Amino acid sequence: MNRLSRPVIRASLLLCFGGALAACSLENETVSPVARDPLTPYPSTGVTRTFDLTITEGVPWEVGPGAIYKATTYNGTIPGPTLEVDAGDRIVVNLTNAGTEAYSVHTHVAVFDEASDGAHDSLTKPGETRQYVWDALYAGTFPYHDHGMGPEGGTGEGEGATKGLVGAVVVHAPGEAKANESVVVLSDFDTGNYQSLPGVADPETGEFPPEGTYHGGHQYMHTINGKGYTDAIPPFHGKVGEVSRFRVVSIGREFHTWHIHGHRWLNEAGALTDNVVLGPGMYTTFEFLEDNPGVWPVHCHVPDHMAGGMIADYIVE
């Protein structure tokens, strides 16, 4: 999907956003961007984008060498496919439930009626296909996930996400700058739901997996885009002189951070940072003008979470 580009305004090492409240300095000039009220929805584009998702249970998902998770997925992957649209588009999701219990798909920030919420009476029963309609009237990066009832008749949100029913919705703003985009989904897995784990014997056979490196007691509990550790997580990429945009959603059970070595940007409060904090169901989008080549670690700064798999590489050419 082609995107419109706009000039990149740079103050020192920081990229200033078109919607930022603070003035941005460019050499000897001062540019005061016009702030847009974030509560104002974008007008409808009249465009409908349709996505087909199928929920499947018992998918053997390889989180890393020797680490095979018994997952429940959207379209066979963790996370599910990124739903990418423009602000003002209508999203139609045709959800087919090929599983044995009721599931759903629920998202954040989009405008929808109760029948498309994915909770209570808007679940998709086993063997059923149900349509969910969302209006993407706000730009940004948001999670989508299961909101099924769960075994005890509760909301089931945590259980579905832990199984693997997570994904991201990317809503592009009009006139958004061209960038090297990275979508990041942080999620937490249940080690008791693994088919095999390095260094851990199968409880039925007593045999150890023939491959993989044992990473300790928290291994493969915390994942980036459904994978654990640098040997399995595909690296993120940037290029000096171009804009890098990170779209991060956290949809697990734990609080996580997203820390990038050797870089800094402005957070949503306009403060300088290199590490953002995200609780379950939280999300953020940030960008910066890339100026620092190298292979940089990116990870959750909670020690057990980093040890548990949340560490990858960011390669800047």
Q: Is residue 31 part of a domain?
A: no
Instruction: Quick: pLDDT tens for 167-204.
Output: 999 999 999 999 999 999 999 999 999 999 999 998 88
Strand, coil or helix: 135: strand
Q: What is the pTM of this model?
A: 0.87
Tell me the mean pLDDT in the region 144-168: 78
7 in a domain, yes or no? no
Angstrom distance (rounded) from CA 294 to CA 65: 26
Residues 92/112, Cβ–Cβ less than 8 Å = no
Domain co-membership, 240 together with 212: yes
* pLDDT tens for each residue of 224-259: 999 999 999 999 999 999 999 999 999 989 999 999
Average the pLDDT over 296-303 and give the result.
98
Q: Is residue 18 part of a domain?
A: no
**Which has the closest alpha carbon to 84: 2, 166, 172?**
172
Best CA proximity match to 201, nearest among 69, 62, 72, 66: 66
Angstrom distances, CA of residue 247 to CA of 66, 97, 170: 29, 28, 8
Could you tell me if residue 43 is inside a domain?
no
pLDDT score recorded for residue 37:
86
Cα separations (Å) of 180 from 247, 311, 316? Answer: 11, 20, 11
Residue 74 structural domain: 48-172
C-alpha R_g of the chain: 20
Q: Measured between alpha carbons, how far is 142 from 137 in angstroms, rounded to an integer?
A: 12
pLDDT tens string 64-111 = 999 999 999 999 999 999 999 999 999 999 999 999 999 999 999 999
Angle at 94 between CA 91 and CA 95, to 5 degrees: 120
One domain, residues 237 and 118: no
d(CA 187, CA 315): 22
Domain containing residue 244: CATH number: 2.60.40.420
- Do 163 and 185 lie in a common domain? no
